[in-house]
Every structure is written in structure tokens, then in C-alpha cells.
Structure 1
Amino acid sequence: MCPPFARTDAIIVVDSSSSVKRPNWNKMIAFIVNMLSQFTIDQSSLRIGAFRYNRRVHTNTQILLNQFNNDKDGLLAAIQRLPYNGGGTNTGRAIAHVTNVMLKPENGNRPDVQDLVFLITDGRAQDRVDLVSADLRATGAVVFVVAVILPGSTIRLSQMLEITGTNETLLVVDSGFDGLDTAFSSMLTKYFCPADACSNI
């Protein structure tokens, strides 16, 4: 049943801009690891890609869908090694990277499974997100935004809605990064399990 078995290709996009701060970065990474720990990750079920961005996309530490197909421990360790630094929040550039690189067949994307994209951010994008997000959704990917609200946050939910295209996949965390807790990660696992993304193994 799903979980632990989910037949999807999921890309996790992590904002590592200066507004996040190191303690919150650690909470965000722990949240991602906790969420993925609930799944079987292998060649025929769930595949995970991930990367971080700020003013640019950090391709030197990105994780492609075909890198850890049968190595869950290796995947989680690679996510835990993602470094934190940098400034700027060019979210549009990150979204374009999902479409142009992460979801390409040569990088492990499967044509016969649902693509899911999870963007975790605490700030307003400093570039345009509307057109690149429409291009991403046009591939058939379902796009989620986990919008983390901090005191004095610059995040604009209308802009986040431009990314998701629907309120159903815009997930607002009003309690800051502390809201990325075990209960929230367990709730988020249901989005990996649409009817056509599960396999009874």
C-alpha cells in the first residue's frame, strides 16, 4: 500500500536564501528526511530528485532521479549533506530548472508515472514565476508549494498561487519552520499517493 510504496517521480526544491537562516535550514532538511523515510525508494516505485537554490541553482549538489534508485540510505545522506549558504530568491529560475533538467528522461524521469514537484520556501521570488510555472504544469507535473510564514515574511501567497495554479496544492505553514514537524510530514505523504501513483506490492 501507499505509503510505503508510491510509484511517482518527485522533485524537492529547497530555498537556501539568506532569510532562511542556519537553524531553520536544519529543520527543513530534517523535515524532508523524515517525510521520505516513510517510503520505499527503489527503481520501480518512488524516485526522488532534489536541489537547492537562492539567486542561482546549485547544480553541483543536485540529486537526479536516477542517482539513488536502490539506495535509500544514500539518498537521505545526500539530502542531509546539502549545504546552506547564499542570498537571493530566484524561484523562477529554480522552477525552470525542474522542467529543463530534473524532469528529463536522461536524468531518470519515467514517462508513465506521475511527476510531483515540492517547493519549500519562506520568501518572495525576485524573478517572474508565472510563465515558467505554467510551462512546468504543462508537462503534467503536479506542483506543490510549502509556504513557510515567518515574522516579517516577504512571501506573497498570490505569487505562490501562480506557481501551483491551484489552492489545493498551496500548503501554508503559519507557525514558521517549527511547523515542519512530524505531523506535517506525515500529512504530506498522502500527496505522494494519488490513485494512479500507488502500487500494491
Structure 2
Amino acid sequence: VKTSVEFLHFYLCLLMQLNYHNKKNISCSTAVNDLVYIIDGSWSVGVSDFDTAKQWLINITSQFDISSHYTQVAVIQYSDTPRLEIPLGKHQGVAELIKAIRSISYLGGNTQTGRAIKFAVDHVFASSQRGNLVKNRIAVVVTDGKSQDDVVDASMEARAQSITVFAVGVGTEITTSELISIANKPSSTYVLYAEDYTTIDRIRDSMEQKLCEESVCPTRIPVASRDEKGFELMVGMNIQTKAKKIPGSLVSETAYALAASTDITENTREIFPEGLPPSYVFVSTLRLKGISSKLSFDLWRVLSKDKAIQAAVTLSGKDKTVTFTTTSTTEKEQKAVFKTGFQVGTLYDGKWHQIKVLVRHRQVTGFLDDQRIQELMLKPVEPIYINGETQVSKRRGTDITVEIQKLRLYCDPHQSERETACEIYSAMNASKWLPFTLCDSSDAD
């Protein structure tokens, strides 16, 4: 009987969550997280800096939808012993949670970071009532000095229980090796530094983006020696099974020809189940042939249930432009048109090229074959709805073929610097009988 009741409770919770999920715009704010902050309250911090640390937590936490459906937050303050300031899921709303964070009183004492992490694993994360409904379990450890106990075992146990650990070091007394031991790998992603508490808000955007990546981008794209968080759209959109396989820009590369009759359409919730992150990099290596270099079409687009465009990269051979479309808080949609200089026009010359569109909070930058085309400003955007469709290579007309070798969306905006058009330049060198080295387009680290 107990098992049946537990199953019924789980099923009802799942139905409520799905129903709630469908009615809202989906983004990082609506990810299903158990998020635990573990903040240093030792003597070295001081009352003033501790208040600054609390405000930093408030600034970051405000991006999430705090509720039993989405993100639940706990706060642990530690010194000689950890103290649970806010139990996981106690506050169901941002305003209520902010008030609780502000009311936390400074503890004072020594620095027992390992003990605090173990407390979070054994008692706080373990207390979550949502079970398998929680997709992400995240701990953020904030410290301003070297721990007086061992952090390795507790951190390893956290990772063994699928808890993602970020380490934030503040000031000059921190030990880099210790932060690396605490955090997940790679340290370049999971370890952050601030000069002191007065400047900690400078890493707020980075912390928000990294938490968002962890919440929204669970998949990994294997590139060179590292795995990048993002979406391999060639696989997710099932292009390999729907389109004709052809040689790519190099002997080592494979591409696919998408004719007008090729329908590349998938449900958005299958491709972006938690929506799109606020910052990301869209990358495509492609070749436009024949009439496709003279017409306009959407290389990639995300549609709402009523067919409104929520995100799109549109190529116009007639105008020799690339257009990025996204949502807007004040209008139906907003467009950024890249048309400066000769670079965009070369996209339509019938040769292989790489397009990169770097999307940030308030700006979007276009690149062609590693060359920066233009940076344009964006107005505030709305999160997307996931109850529509995501499509590739949709256009009017017939007898149009687009050849696509790569189609990816990276969640880390810095991937724009690492993702080079190596396969394009290698192909150019090969055509001139010059020496070249085969390489992954993300070899730069």
C-alpha cells in the first residue's frame, strides 16, 4: 500500500510539473534544481564582507523561479561547524527567500570547509523531497581562505552522488589547488575567483551563466581534448537519418545535402527541454549551391506552438545578409541583420563556410570563417516556449540544396573563441596544394 501511495504521489507531482511547465516560458529560471550555497562565515570574512556575500547570493538567486516545481535553495554558513540557515525548499518564492538570506547573522570562527561540504551532502541534499524529479543538484562553495580540514574526501563524495560543485575563491588568501580539489572538472568552468568581496559582483554574470549552463545544457559535445556543454543539432535533429550523406570540406569530414523536400523538424521539448540559455554560440559549417545562394531561408529556427519565431538564423542570398531573430519583452520579435562589408557576401559564393552567431544578454555578434562581421545590440528578450517545433533549412521554392557539415549550439559564450573554422582553412590550403594539418575545429583551448 505504501508503495502504491508513493507512486501515486510521484505521478501527481509529475503531472502538475508538466502542466506548469507547458504554461510558462522556459529558460534557466525554470530549470528543476536543488541549489545549495555553502558560504564562509569565518573570522577572516568580517561582518561587512559577509553582508556583501549575502547580497551576491541574492543577485544570483533572483534569476531562478523559486518554487517546488523548479529551483529549491538552501544556504549553509560554516566556520568551525556548519549551520543550516535555510533548509532546502523551505521558501517557495524569490521575495520570501531573499528576506531569509538577508536575515542570516554572521557566525565567526575557524574555516572547516570540508566539514561543511560533507554536511551538505549527508543532510541537506539528502533531505530533498523531490527525488527523481530533480534534474540538477548543485553546490556553490564560497570561501576566502585555506580550509583547516580536508576538503578532498567530502568533495569526492559529493561528485560520487552526482552533485555538481562550484568553488568560488575570494581574496588573496585562497589556495588554488584546494579550490580545484573542491570543484568539478574542468576547473576553468567550475572554479571562479574574485579579488575581494567588494569586487565579487564582477563575477556575478559568469556565475549566473555557469549555473544556467548546468541547469539547461546537460548534454556534452566531444571536441578535441575537452567536452563542451551544448546541443549537437546534427544528432538531435536526426539529420544523419533524414538527409543524403555527401563528402564534406575535407576527406575526413562528412556532410549532408538538404533538398527542399527534406523535412528536418523535431519537437522543441526534445531538443531544448529546458529552453535556451541567455548566452550561447550557434555554429554551422555549410555550403550553399545553385539557387540556394539567391533565396532566403531559415538555416535554424525555433517556433512556438502558434508558429511564431522565437529564435532563428536566416540567410538571404538576395540581400547578401545573415539575420538573427529572437524574442522581445516589448514586441513580438526583434531582428539583428548582419550586412557590413564584403564578408557576408562571400557566404553565397558556393564554397564551404562557417557561420558563428554569438548571443549574449544584450548583444549579438556575427562571424564568418573566424572573421568578426558585426556586433549589434539587443533589447531584453523573453524565454522561449518549448511546446512548438525546431527546424533546420526551411525555405520557399524548389530545387534548393543546402549542404551542412556542422550544426551546433554551445552554451558557453567563450566557445566562440575556441571554435575556429579550421576545416575551412584546411580545405582552402588543400585546394592550393599547400601543406595543412587535419584538426578539430575546437582544438584551441
- Assess same fold via TM > 0.5: yes
For residue 65 of structure 1, what is the aligned residue in structure 2? 88
Ranges in structure 2 where 5+ consecutive residues have no aligned partner: 1-25, 219-272, 276-383, 386-445
Q: 1:82 aligns to what SS in structure 2?
A: coil
The 5-angstrom pairing of residues 1-80 of structure 1 reads 1-59=26-84, 62-68=85-91, 70-80=92-102
> Given the alignment, which residue of 176, 185, 190 partners 1:157?
176
- Structure 1 pair 28–63 and aligned structure 2 pair: CA distance change class (3 A): same
Q: State whether residues 64 and 108 of structure 1, in contact with CA within 8 Å, keep that contact through their aligned partners in structure 2.
A: no
Mapped partners of 2:63, 2:46: distance in 1: 27
CA deviations over 1:143-173 (Å, ceiling 9, x no partner): 00010124xx2x2110111111421201111
Mapped partners of 1:49, 1:109: distance in 2: 14
What's the TM-score once normalised by structure 1's chain length?
0.88
For residue 176 of structure 1, what is the aligned residue in structure 2? 196
Q: State whether residues 67 and 89 of structure 2, in contact with CA within 8 Å, keep that contact through their aligned partners in structure 1.
A: no
Between 1 and 2, higher relative CO (CA 8 Å, sep ≥ 6) is seen in 1
Pair member with larger Rg: 2
For residue 169 of structure 2, what is the aligned residue in structure 1? 147
Q: 1:41 aligns to what SS in structure 2?
A: coil
The 5-angstrom pairing of residues 110-149 of structure 1 reads 110-112=131-133, 113-149=135-171
For these two proteins, the number of residue pairs brought into alignment is 192
For residue 102 of structure 1, what is the aligned residue in structure 2? 124
Mapped partners of 2:81, 2:116: distance in 1: 8
Q: Which one-letter code corresponds to 1:161 in the other structure? A: I
Higher strand share: 2
Q: 1:10 aligns to what SS in structure 2?
A: strand
Q: Which one-letter code corresponds to 2:47 in the other structure? A: R
For residue 207 of structure 2, what is the aligned residue in structure 1? 188
Q: Which one-letter code corresponds to 1:55 in the other structure? A: D
Matched-pair identity in %: 23
Higher helix share: 1
Moved over 4 A (4+): none
Q: State whether residues 55 and 87 of structure 1, in contact with CA within 8 Å, keep that contact through their aligned partners in structure 2.
A: yes
Moved more, 109-118 or 189-198: 189-198
Report the alpha carbon displacement of residue 109 of structure 1 after superposing the two structures with TM.
5.2
Mapped partners of 2:204, 2:120: distance in 1: 22
Report the alpha carbon displacement of residue 65 of structure 1 after superposing the two structures with TM.
1.6
Q: Which one-letter code corresponds to 2:200 in the other structure? A: L
- Structure 1 pair 185–109 and aligned structure 2 pair: CA distance change class (3 A): farther
Give the superposed CA RMSD.
1.8
Q: 1:42 aligns to what SS in structure 2?
A: coil
For residue 274 of structure 2, what is the aligned residue in structure 1? 198
